[in-house]
C-alpha cells in the first residue's frame, strides 16, 4: 500500500477540480493547470478532495498511484501559492537585471548573456546579485532556474558563479608551492 497515495488531496477554498476521463483540471487564483494520469489509476473528486486509487495490484499501478497523487498535489499547490526558486550570483562584476521579458546577465564573458523568460514564469531581480523565479508549474520553474544556473555554475576554488540560495559549495584548496 502506498502511504502517499492513500491520503486524499484536500482542495482549499477557491480551488475547483474537474475530472474528465484520465485528465484532471484544477482552477485556482493563480490560473488553471491540468494533468493526465495513466490508465493504471482512477481519479475521483468527492467532498472537496481528490482521491487517487490504483486499478489492480500490478507493480506499475502501485508506482503510478503515489506519483499521480503527488502530481495532483503539485497542481493544487501551484494554483494556490505557486512555486519559487531563488538564485544568488557571486563573483566580482557578476550581476543580473531584468529588461522587459529578458534577463540580462553579466557573468565575466566578453558579452552579456540575454536569457528570454518563457511564458508562465516571472523572473525578478530584487538586487543585482539575486534572481527570483516564480510560477505555478513546478517543473518549468525548476527548469528555468537550472538553465540560468547553467551559464556559470559555481566553481569549487573561489565559489564564483550562480548558485541556488540554499546550496552549499564544497570548497577546494588551491595548489601549494
- Which pLDDT value is given to residue 34? 93
Q: Which of 29, 59, 80 corresponds to the end of one domain?
A: 80
Q: Which of 80, 102, 133 corresponds to the end of one domain?
A: 80
The model carries a pTM of 0.86
CATH number at residue 33: 3.90.930.12
Q: How far apart are CA 148 and CA 163, in angstroms?
A: 10
- Which pLDDT value is given to residue 1? 62
Q: Are residues 125 and 158 in the same domain?
A: yes
Q: What is the pLDDT along the chain (177 residues), one digit of tens a residue?
A: 668 888 999 999 999 999 999 999 999 998 899 999 999 999 999 889 999 999 999 999 988 999 999 999 999 999 999 999 999 999 999 999 999 999 999 999 999 999 999 999 999 999 999 999 999 999 999 999 999 999 999 999 998 999 999 999 999 998 887
Is residue 23 in some structural domain?
A: yes
User: How many structural domains are present in the chain?
Assistant: 2
Domain that holds residue 87: 83-164
Q: DSSP labels for the chain?
A: --HHHHS-EE--TT-EEEEETTEEEEEETTEEEEEE--TTEEEEEETTEEEEEESSS-HHHHHHHHHHHHHHHHHHHHHHT-EEEEEEEESTT-EEEEETTEEEEE-SSSSPEEEEPPTTEEEE-SSTTEEEEEES-HHHHHHHHHHHHHTTPPPTTT--EEEETT--PPP------
Is residue 169 in some structural domain?
A: no
Q: Are residues 47 and 99 in the same domain?
A: no
Q: Are residues 64 and 112 in the same domain?
A: no
Q: Which of 52, 80, 108 corresponds to the end of one domain?
A: 80
Is residue 27 in some structural domain?
A: yes
Q: Are residues 67 and 89 in the same domain?
A: no
Q: Are residues 66 and 126 in the same domain?
A: no
- Which pLDDT value is given to residue 174? 86
Q: Are residues 53 and 88 in the same domain?
A: no
Amino acid at each position: 500500500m502506498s502511504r502517499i497515495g492513500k491520503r486524499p488531496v484536500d482542495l482549499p477554498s477557491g480551488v475547483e477540480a474537474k475530472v474528465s476521463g484520465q485528465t484532471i483540471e484544477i482552477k485556482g487564483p493563480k490560473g488553471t493547470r491540468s494533468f493526465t494520469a495513466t490508465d493504471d489509476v482512477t481519479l475521483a473528486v468527492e467532498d472537496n478532495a481528490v482521491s487517487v486509487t490504483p486499478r489492480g495490484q500490478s507493480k506499475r499501478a502501485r508506482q503510478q498511484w503515489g506519483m499521480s497523487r503527488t502530481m495532483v498535489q503539485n497542481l493544487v499547490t501551484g494554483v494556490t501559492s505557486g512555486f519559487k526558486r531563488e538564485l544568488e550570483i557571486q563573483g566580482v562584476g557578476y550581476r543580473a537585471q531584468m529588461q522587459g521579458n529578458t534577463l540580462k546577465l553579466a557573468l565575466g564573458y566578453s558579452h552579456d548573456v540575454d536569457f528570454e523568460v518563457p511564458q508562465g514564469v516571472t523572473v525578478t531581480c530584487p538586487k543585482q546579485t539575486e534572481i527570483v523565479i516564480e510560477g505555478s508549474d513546478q517543473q518549468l520553474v525548476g527548469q528555468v532556474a537550472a538553465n540560468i544556473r547553467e551559464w556559470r555554475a559555481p566553481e569549487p576554488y573561489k565559489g564564483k558563479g550562480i548558485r541556488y540560495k540554499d546550496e552549499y559549495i564544497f570548497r577546494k584548496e588551491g595548489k601549494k608551492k
